Amino acid sequence: MTGCLPYIYDHFAVHIIRSFVRYYYMLWFFFNKEKAGGLASGTTGRYLYACAADSRGKESIRQVIEKFGHEDFDYLIFVYDDTRFDEEIFRQCRFIYEKGLKWQFCKKFLTPGFAAGYEYIFVWDDDIELLDFSYRDFIKIMRRNALDMAQPALSRDSYFTHKITLARRGNRIGRLTDFVEIMVPVFTADAWIKFWKMLGQDVGWGWGYDMVAKKVLGFKMGIVDCQQIRHARASIKRRPLGLIEEERTFRRYKHKKCWLVSYGTLK
């Protein structure tokens, strides 16, 4: 029994150190938001780009930073492998190195207190090509239509899961919809806080939450056809744990799987 004690003490010490590092990151983000230009007065704000990435997503994130810049954006990147982001272009970004999944990171770190410092929050996958996407024009459309949650349409050559997300030919602006995919959603800060509260502590892949968001939260949602991006990697349509989570989410919110619809036009 005595021989086990050093192991127990070492294991306990590692747990304490990991916990300290985790909460240090969270406190550092919270107290440095204003220095980084986070929303302070509630009248004019910055935007947050949050993304979970591995080595395959590094180039995509670099292109996003090059196009979006730092004038309006802060960047929070969750890295779940050993990829290093040491290049100069990533110097002003914040990184959390931890194993996990995108929506687990969001539940853990993008808390209401943290999110309240931003006007809009982009929670994107790491395999997105921007094409001619303009975040300024996209945000103008969200504001003009009072959208709580929206996404750019996927180009017709994108890998896709839900046909409703593909760009509609002939649509000048976009569509009001009952669905915005968790691949590339953009939230107002208030909408993100509501969505975050809806995410269960057992969230994994996040499957199902995008399908219940309108019903449960009453969001006004849209897909913006005039602002397109390209999804560059194949979607995984039959991931068993994702399907289990989707069914669990549906049961929790008494939701039945149904057709996803567009029901109006954006101006």
Superfamily of 33-265 according to CATH: Spore Coat Polysaccharide Biosynthesis Protein SpsA; Chain A (3.90.550.10)
The mean of the pLDDT values for the chain is 86
How far lies 145's CA from each of 9, 75, 118, 238, 262, in Å? 57, 26, 19, 35, 15
Contact present, 205 and 168 (Cβ < 8 Å): no
Cβ atoms within 10 Å, residue 254:
9
CA distance 90 to 111: 23
Low-confidence ranges of the chain (pLDDT < 50): 1-2, 7-9, 11, 14-15, 18, 21-22, 25, 28, 30, 33-43
pLDDT of amino acid 115: 93
Write out pLDDT tens, residues 183-212: 999 999 999 999 999 999 989 888 889 999
Percent of the chain with pLDDT over 90: 69
Give residue limits of the domains in the chain.
33-265
